[in-house]
A and B are shown apart, each in its own frame.
Chain A
Amino acid sequence: MSNVPPIAHRKPWEERSVVVALLLAVLVPGLGHLFQGRILKGLIYHVGILGLFLWGVKLGEGVVVYNTPERGGARRITLHYAAQLGAGAIAYPALWQQARLNQENRPIRQLEKPLTAAFSGILSAVDNDNEGGKLEGTVQLMPEPGEYGSETKGTFTGTLDGQPVELTLAGGFYLDPPIGAGFHRILKCGVASDQKKSPGSGQKIDGWIPRSIMDGYGVPPDPDQLQELTGRLGKLHELALVFTWIAGLLNVLAIWDCVQGPAYGFGDEPITTPTDEKSETAKTPESAQLNSNANPA
């Protein structure tokens, strides 16, 4: 064991307001450390914890952060969400997004104003989902007066299996509610029948348009959506949840470090063996003494 005397270190976590640092650390991982001037540690926490959390959100297609307490149950925050809350303000939207799922937030069967959005999905036969191809492009839809009142009609412009295509859309329109879990909003619409094709060869487009982060993040999914997602993503969805949980729990360590300092000290303290402890039981470790005597600059 070396007898090199340890260096007395500053304790940055005692130099600035602990309350402010605590609040910042709770709100944003690493921000409390940056406030204290512990730049490297702040960056590690910020990038590591937030990166892990956001990666989880991406893996789970945005349907990861939500709070669905049982109705009438004593617990108002589920354990699932409590772990995510640790990651800070990034998990807070789930606290109020549930309240936005009110009566007016319904699936749309008839557009009231024009809609233009990027579309990704498939073109399939009405009676057979397995036939068809992959569509990528833009949909332009608008309400138009029809034989029995207003109808939703429009066009799809883009590619079908990589080949340019333009489709006329009419009938069988369905659009997910404006507010819902995830960043995909399901859109279905019939394709106006082609004169060249035989009767009964009806087609439809089935896919999704983007949903804004404000309307999709933190919203609890309905059981059908969750079943579809877990069926499609499988273990990847579970992994996404685990990522957000671990990120939330790791931030608890970061908050503790921000307030109390590192758990094991600075890292240059001499290592004491059990023999040393016996012979120096009454002696305070030199580094601890030096560190406690260190005055803030």
Chain B
Amino acid sequence: MIFATFLLAQTANLTWYLLPLAMVVSLVYSTSRFELPDKILRRAVWLFIQIIGFMAIVFGVLWVLSYGI
């Protein structure tokens, strides 16, 4: 149990790195799609939400599947 908690803490710590990564990816990708700053920012925010949302769903599914293992 202690080991599992330790492992989860380690993984969770690494997961935080995905937030800035997703932020940069969505901002740079949106910048390459549009020219107007307003559109770039709106699109980047939406893409960021989509990426994080998708990863959260995958995380949730994997967590449910691995429950009790």
- CB within 8 Å of B: which residues of A? 9, 38, 40-41, 44-45, 48-49, 51-52, 55, 234-236, 239, 242-243, 246, 250, 253-254, 256-257, 261-268
| Cβ A264 vs Cβ B33 within 8 A | yes
Given known contacts A52-B21, A243-B21, A44 and B36 CB-to-CB distance under 8 angstroms:
no
Which of chain A's residues has its CB closest to B33's CB? A264
Chain B contact surface mostly:
helix
**A253 surroundings in chain B (CB, below 8 A):** 28-29, 32
| Cβ A236 vs Cβ B35 within 8 A | no
Contacts between chains A and B (CB distance < 8 A), count: 70
Which of B33, B35, B38 has the most chain A CB within a 10 Å cutoff?
Answer: B35
Q: Is there a chain A Cβ closer than 8 Å to B68's Cβ?
A: no
Given known contacts A236-B14, A239-B14, A243-B21, A265 and B34 CB-to-CB distance under 8 angstroms:
yes
Q: Which of B25, B32, B37, B43 contacts A40 (CB 8 A)?
A: B37
Q: Which of B27, B28, B32, B35 contacts A266 (CB 8 A)?
A: B35
| Cβ A267 vs Cβ B31 within 8 A | no
Cβ proximity bits B9-42 to A, threshold 8 Å, 1 near / 0 not = 0100010010011001101110111111111100
- CB within 8 Å of A: which residues of B? 10, 14, 17, 20-21, 24-25, 27-29, 31-40, 43
Which of chain B's residues has its CB closest to A9's CB? B35
**B10 surroundings in chain A (CB, below 8 A):** 234
Q: Which of A51, A246, A267 contacts B34 (CB 8 A)?
A: A267
Q: Which of B21, B27, B38 contacts A267 (CB 8 A)?
A: B38
Bound Cα distance from A239 to B19, whole angstroms:
13
Bound Cα distance from A254 to B35, whole angstroms:
12
**B31 surroundings in chain A (CB, below 8 A):** 41, 44-45, 48, 254, 257
**B28 surroundings in chain A (CB, below 8 A):** 44-45, 48-49, 250, 253-254
Bound Cα distance from A267 to B21, whole angstroms:
24
Q: Which of A49, A51, A52, A262 contacts B35 (CB 8 A)?
A: A262
| Cβ B33 vs Cβ A52 within 8 A | no
14 pairs, A vs B, C-beta closer than 8 Å: A9-B35, A41-B40, A44-B31, A45-B31, A49-B24, A236-B14, A242-B21, A250-B28, A253-B29, A253-B32, A261-B35, A267-B36, A267-B38, A267-B39
